[in-house]
Amino acid sequence: MSHNDFDVAILGGGPTGCALALLLARMSARPERIALLQADNQGRYGFTPGQDPRVLAINHGSRVLLESLKGFPHQAALIQTIHVSQRGRLGRTVIRHDDFGVAQLGCVVRYSSLHAQLSTAVAQSGVTLLNGPAARIRTQDSAGIEIGQGDHLLRASLAVQANGKPETQISRQYAQMALITHAQASLPRPGWAFERFTQEGPLAVLPHPDAAGQQSIVWCCAPERAKTLSALSAEDFSIALTQMFGTRLGNLTVQHPVTAMPLILNMPLAAVDGRSVAIGNAAQTLHPVAGQGLNLGLRDAAALAFSLQEWFDAPGSNPAQALAAFQQVRGPDRQLTARLTDVMSRIFTTRWPIVEHAAGLTLLGMDLIPALRAPLARHLLQGMRL
Ligand SMILES: Cc1cc2nc3c(=O)[nH]c(=O)nc-3n(C[C@H](O)[C@H](O)[C@H](O)COP(=O)(O)OP(=O)(O)OC[C@H]3O[C@@H](n4cnc5c(N)ncnc54)[C@H](O)[C@@H]3O)c2cc1C
């Protein structure tokens, strides 16, 4: 019998930490021996989860997982068609739900609603919730791992870093900020999501979960330009946005504050360190192009729970084998998704006409030849299935 206070301590109660807590609670005969430690202070971007202005495109696989955990929010906007284009150059592709024989390709939810729904499910799951100062791993030995949360010390057999922040140095500082807001379209197209590549960075216009005709905007551009755009009046920002996006949805009118978030790629080589393992943004922080970060994080949570199944029968034993299996199974999906989003975020911004033209032709080729489009679309929609 382990003398540790908990079998598993999850540091960070964001969407991936909550999803893992719920998955483990289902597997454990004693869910109270799973601790979820959530910091009271503001997160990486200066918001508490309830204030976070992000909207998240969730793919079909993530939705199924969240629904099974009773963590899917009530308000969600469906995505049935994805339109990908390049501003000022030839080339576009359209991905439709019926190409894949599914009713929808994904949906868009508010980060805050998703977090609220998951937190409610966690509160009912029997998991021990420890809200307080930021938690951190202090030491580990052959029998367990010691975690500090302010003055409070606890021991667990296994620690999961789900705090949204990789420990290692940033591996790429994108010279881009994401401007987040929402806009009303004068010619809305329900169910359509647009990813428009520009020389400044990708611009995503997604259906907003709150109301028909509302669009969620994620506009990635150079930091200086982001500063200038953020200082514009709502009217001038709306004009600049419509100019950049084009008129596929008529005029876009912004009446909401614009939030700027810095963008980085951060990916430690190994997600496992002894009795500690990282998942979600703590394991990989990606560019938001194509909306992959949380989808990848939820696949981490599901794969970790699966790898820990046998270990849960004897949680006092060493989890090394289970963690090694987790690391091996997750490697290809993490690497491929990080590379894909890294290339997609930069290839249209090279200002080398030949590269941008080639990228445009690739989009065109994908539009004309479904066999080219299918593997990329499938990866972005479902992730890597092993
Ligand atoms: C502009 C933008 C748009 C995006 N759009 C999409 C999208 O469309 N689709 C998609 O799939 N992904 C998207 N993402 C990525 C997505 O937001 C992240 O992948 C996701 O939020 C990661 O969840 P997480 O739980 O791992 O981390 P987080 O959401 O960062 O949550 C971590 C939690 O841990 C807490 N915490 C931090 N430190 C500690 C500590 N020391 N102790 C205890 N608690 C701590 C924080 O307060 C926070 O609540 C986007 C990201 C950005 C920036």
Write down the mean pLDDT value for the chain.
87
Question: How far, in Å, are 57, 216, 241 from residue 347 at the CA level?
Answer: 22, 24, 21
pLDDT for the residue numbered 270: 78
Which range has the worst mean pLDDT, 37-41, 86-90, 145-149?
A: 86-90
Report residue 347's pLDDT band, with 50, 70 and 90 as the boundaries.
low
Nearest atom in ligand 1 to 62's CA: 11
Distance 14 CA to ligand 1 centre (A): 6
Torsion angle (degrees, nearest 10) of CA 224, 87, 104, 290: -40
Report phi then psi at 48, rounded to 5: -75, 160
Q: Give the burial string for 355-370 (b: 16+ CB within 10 Å, else e).
A: ebeebbebbbebbeee
Mutating to test ligand 1, I would choose from 115, 130, 136, 163 the residue with most ligand atoms within 8 A of its C-beta, which is 163
Distance 21 CA to ligand 1 centre (A): 16
Nearest atom in ligand 1 to 285's CA: 19
Distance 26 CA to ligand 1 centre (A): 23
Look up the CATH number of domain 6-49+112-169+265-344: 3.50.50.60
Report residue 101's pLDDT band, with 50, 70 and 90 as the boundaries.
confident
**DSSP conformation class of 124:** T
Residue 292 region, left (φ>0) first, then alpha (ψ -120 to 50), else beta? alpha
Closest residue to atom 15 of ligand 1, CA basis? 293
Nearest atom in ligand 1 to 52's CA: 29
Contact predicate 13/122, CB 8 Å: yes
As a whole number of angstroms, the distance between CA 214 and CA 277 comes to: 39
In this predicted structure, the answer to whether residue 371 has a pLDDT above a threshold of 70 is no
Distance 165 CA to ligand 1 centre (A): 8
As a whole number of angstroms, the distance between CA 150 and CA 133 comes to: 5
Mutating to test ligand 1, I would choose from 294, 304, 334 the residue with most ligand atoms within 8 A of its C-beta, which is 294
Residues with Cβ within 8 Å of 130's Cβ and at least 6 positions away in sequence, in order, are 35, 36, 37, 38, 149, 152, 154
**DSSP conformation class of 134:** P
pLDDT for the residue numbered 135: 96
Distance 245 CA to ligand 1 centre (A): 27
Report residue 35's pLDDT band, with 50, 70 and 90 as the boundaries.
very high
Structural domain spans, the chain: 6-49+112-169+265-344
pTM of the predicted protein model = 0.91
Distance 247 CA to ligand 1 centre (A): 32
pLDDT for the residue numbered 384: 46
Distance 285 CA to ligand 1 centre (A): 9
As a whole number of angstroms, the distance between CA 130 and CA 122 comes to: 12
